[in-house]
Amino acid sequence: MNENKSGKTGFKIEHWMKIAIFVGFYDVVAVSASYFLALLLRFDFRISAIKPEYFEAWSHFAPIYAAVCVFAFAVFGLYKIIWRFAGFNEFNKTLYVSLLTSAIHVGATLLLYCRMPISYYVIGTVLQCILVVGIRFSYRILLFILNRSGKRNGDRIMLIGAGEAGQMILRDINKDSANGRVVCIIDDNSNKWNRFIDGVRVVGGRESIMENVRRYRVNKIFLAIPSASMAQRRDILSICNETDCEIKNLPGISQFFTGQLTASSLKEVSIEDLLGRDPIKPDMNEVFSFINGKTVMVTGGGGSIGSELCRQIAGHSPKRLIILDIYENNAYDIQLELKDRHPELDLVVLIGSVRDSRRMDQVFADYRPEIVYHAAAHKHVPLMEDSPCEAIKNNAIGTYKTAYAAMRNGCERFVLISTDKAVNPTNVMGASKRLCEMVIQSFDAKIKAGRAAEIPALYLHRGGDEMDTDADRLPEKIRTEFVAVRFGNVLGSNGSVVPVFKRQIEKGGPVTVTHPDIIRYFMTVPEAVSLVMLAGTYAHGGEIFVLDMGSPVKIDTLARNLIRLSGLKPDEDIKIEYTGLRPGEKLYEEKLMAEEGLKTTDNKLIHIGCPIAFDVDRFLDDLGELIDVAYRNDSSIRGYVERMVPTYHPTYNGQRILPDPVLETEPENAGETETIPAR
């Protein structure tokens, strides 16, 4: 049916063709009328005063000239231009063609008819250019006038930045009323104050932001300073955040250089911009040269930290990258991403659990990784409070099994990813990560003492067939260096509070905060990953690397800033509810235990905490008992953990939990013990 119909019509006139036909008829009238008006002006609008030879020359040549003009305009493509978006190039082309046809008019009349008055040619040319150009740009002018008048009741925008980027954003906004109206511009360059850009006044510097928001009734602020430093951007955003305006930010300078800068380039201001410090940008050349040509494995490689580790490692020519994760969906996602970005990469993606000693030993034996970043862990505090045995199995015991497999199979560096919650922990998750730190410190102490064979093979599958795990399978010279990396909350990671707050704001609230005084240290995923990788380079064994994360942030302030950044008012548009501390949660996190000394590194924001002294032999014996307790799913496991981690003080909603009764037993071997000395 449709084919027959289209076959009958043969040709469909598009809308733009109708417009072109209309403009073509207009041009016929315009170019003819231009020179007739020129004759009238030349003879003071008295038709009787026009010489007959002049009128005859015009009347005979007018139809010919009109046809020549329409043909020339068509050849130069003036009927195919989308005049709504016409700019300087289209203006120049239209003016050029109009002047060209006017020159043809002069030559033709001189050759074919008679010499017309000079004023006839000059006035006719000017009138033709005005009429031909005017009709084509009248639509844009009309839209501009309507937009200027129609925006008064819409968004009123303050633009920060009177440079080239700001001008590009301003002109893009002026094209479409849907973007709102820029009512004032802020710039710190006093030379620009009280001057105008496209009719908009530069009203002052950053110190006048608050005043002009009120004066011009601004409800949106656009920050368009792509070259600004993080410190400058943060200072300006801090002022803007005191207003009730919605804030958008130009994220970088790349779009400015490519000429693709528009209002749509502006992004929502991220909370990272208000962290209170510049991002850590260590020199990674040493790290990447260390990775180059080596086999690297990342456990938990599908998680937020693990996946970022894989991205950075993949870009710096490892011999092979091995991703190990228990969750196949995350592993598959990062596999597809890395294959797309780095098709040359020798990538191995394995599914397995760090709890499975046979699987871990098999992976290390088959692939012989030289560097291991151990990111696999359960990290959610309230969930681990409800399932404490799972936290111990996965975090502490899983780390032990992975570390033993690494040592046994000749791994060079083993980097444990820890957390500031391991410092004076009040929850099982933090205590389990402190156990992880003690595990790698125990391994380091035994290796340095030349007694690696004394490290018990606790990764045996009890009750089943034993694997070949005798100490004689250990290399003659153990070369594995074990280190830990401790940092705070990671913005954008799985379980981060920021995405939760954003979802609550999108739903209209309320935003839930556990306590008005709770504070946390924050860092970005790239910062965390940079620190982890640096640890693998700086390591000499037994260190705990600590990032100076600046000043802590109140979670209540964080929530209120996010609400304001969304253009809403806390406690008015979005309510904030305080739900009370969750099980195992404390008001503040610590970066380092008081007993741990600090040593500096080449990067002044990265420090090394020396190990706390503890009895290694007793710890390893207790760990064997802890495995039995965990796999029995014994509800009294907190008491066992508290005995092994002296700094662990379980709490519930901020209240101390009485320890479960624990059977105190002496270790079977009363012989020589080893203690990690404080350094």
Give the contacts of 534 (CB within 8 A, at least 6 positions apart).
282, 284, 287, 545, 601, 603, 606
Exposure letters 512-531 (e unless 16+ CB within 10 A, then b): ebbbeebbbbbbbbbbbbbb
Q: Which residues of 540-551 are buried (b: 16+ CB within 10 A; e: fewer)?
A: ebbbbbbbebbe
Q: Which tokens in the block code for residue 438?
A: 């003690």
Element (H, E) at 516: none
Q: What is the pLDDT of residue 254?
A: 37
| pLDDT exceeds cutoff 70 at 315 | yes
- The residue assigned the tokens 């080596």 is 294
In 3D, which of 308, 330, 298 has the Cα closest to residue 525?
308
Contact 376, 326 (CB under 8 A): yes
pLDDT tops 90 at residue 179: no
DSSP string across 252-308 = -SHHHHHT---GGG-EEPPGGGGSSSPPP----HHHHHHHTTSEEEEETTTSHHHHH
Residue 405 confidence (pLDDT): 93
Q: Which two tokens stand for residue 600?
A: 């500096």
pLDDT at position 256 over 80: no
Lowest-confidence segment of 12-16, 62-66, 148-152, 207-211 by average pLDDT: 148-152
- CA pair distance 678, 597, nearest whole angstrom: 9
Burial (CB count <10 Å: 0-12, 13-18, 19+), residue 533? buried
The predicted pLDDT at position 515 comes to 87
Question: Does residue 47 carry a pLDDT above 50?
Answer: yes
When pLDDT is averaged across residues 292-318 and rounded to a whole number, the result is: 91
Would you list the DSSP string of 398-447? Answer: HHHHHHHHHHHTT-SEEEEE--GGGSS--SHHHHHHHHHHHHHHHHHHHH
Per-residue model confidence (pLDDT) at position 6: 44
- Token pair 């009485």 is found at 658
Mean pLDDT of 361-370: 95
Neighbours of 498 (CB within 10 A): 19
H or E segment to which residue 466 belongs: none
- Nearest CA among 83, 98, 104 for reference residue 128: 98
Residue whose entry in the numeric block shows the structure tokens 């595990």: 439
A 10 A CB-CB count for 147 gives: 18
Residue 16 banded pLDDT, cuts 50, 70, 90 = confident
Quick one: which of 366, 357, 368, 440 has its CA closest to 401? 357
> What's the confidence (pLDDT) of residue 389?
95
The pair of structure tokens assigned to 135 is 């009709």
Structure confidence at residue 411 (pLDDT): 93
Region label for 308, one of left (φ > 0), alpha (ψ between -120 and 50) or beta (otherwise): alpha
Residue 120 or residue 85, greater confidence: 120
Residues 6+ apart with CB under 8 A from 178: none
Q: Considering just the CA atoms, what is the radius of gyration of the chain in Å?
A: 37
pLDDT score of 7 more than 70: no
**High-pLDDT (> 90) share of the chain, %:** 33
How confident is the prediction for the chain on average, in pLDDT? Answer: 80
**660, pLDDT greater than 80:** no
Which tokens go with 261? 């800068």
- Please state, in angstroms and rounded to a whole number, the distance separating the CA atoms of residues 21 and 464: 89
Interatomic CA distance for residues 155 and 158, integer angstroms: 10
What residues contact 357, with CB distance under 8 A and at least 6 apart?
401, 404, 405, 459, 460, 461, 467
The DSSP output letter for 228 is -
DSSP run (H or E) holding 80: none
Confidence label for 549 from pLDDT (cuts 50, 70 and 90): low
Angle between helix 616-631 and 428-448 (nearest 10) = 140
Q: The tokens of 440 are what?
A: 């790698």
For the residues 458-478, what does the mean pLDDT come to? 57
Catalytic residues: 421
142 or 371, which is more confident? 371
Q: Is the pLDDT of residue 207 over 50?
A: yes
Selection from 349, 448, 454, 363 nearest residue 401 by Cα: 363
Domains of the chain: 14-147 (no CATH), 154-269 (3.40.50.720), 285-656 (3.40.50.720)
The pLDDT assigned to 665 comes to 35
pLDDT digits (tens, 9 = 90+) for 474-501: 777 888 999 888 877 776 665 667 778 8
Lowest-pLDDT range, 109-113, 243-247, 421-425?
A: 243-247
Q: What is the DSSP letter of 580?
A: -
| Statement: residue 28 has pLDDT above 80 | yes
pLDDT tops 60 at residue 657: no
pLDDT score for 631? 92
pLDDT score of 11? 58
H-assigned helices in 604-658: 616-631, 637-644
Tens-digit pLDDT profile for residues 594-607: 445 666 666 666 77
Q: If you ran DSSP here, which 8-state letter would residue 465 be given?
A: P
Q: Which residue has the tokens 């006048």?
A: 208
Percentage, residues of the chain above pLDDT 70:
76
pLDDT at 250: 64
Segment among 386-390, 547-551, 572-576 with least mean pLDDT:
547-551
Residue range 388-394: average pLDDT? Answer: 95
Using DSSP, how many helices (H) and how many strands (E) does the chain show?
A: 22, 24
Question: What are 523-537's pLDDT values in tens digits?
Answer: 777 777 877 787 667
> Who has greater pLDDT, 670 or 229?
229
Q: Could you tell me the pLDDT band of residue 257, with boundaries at 50, 70 and 90?
A: very low
pLDDT band at 652 (very low <50, low <70, confident <90, very high): low
- Give the tokens for residue 462: 């009890």
pLDDT at 401: 95
Q: Give the residue-averaged pLDDT of 112-135.
A: 89
d(CA 135, CA 86): 12
Structure tokens that stand for 523 in this block: 């860092």
Sign of the alpha-carbon dihedral angle for 33, 39, 45, 47: negative
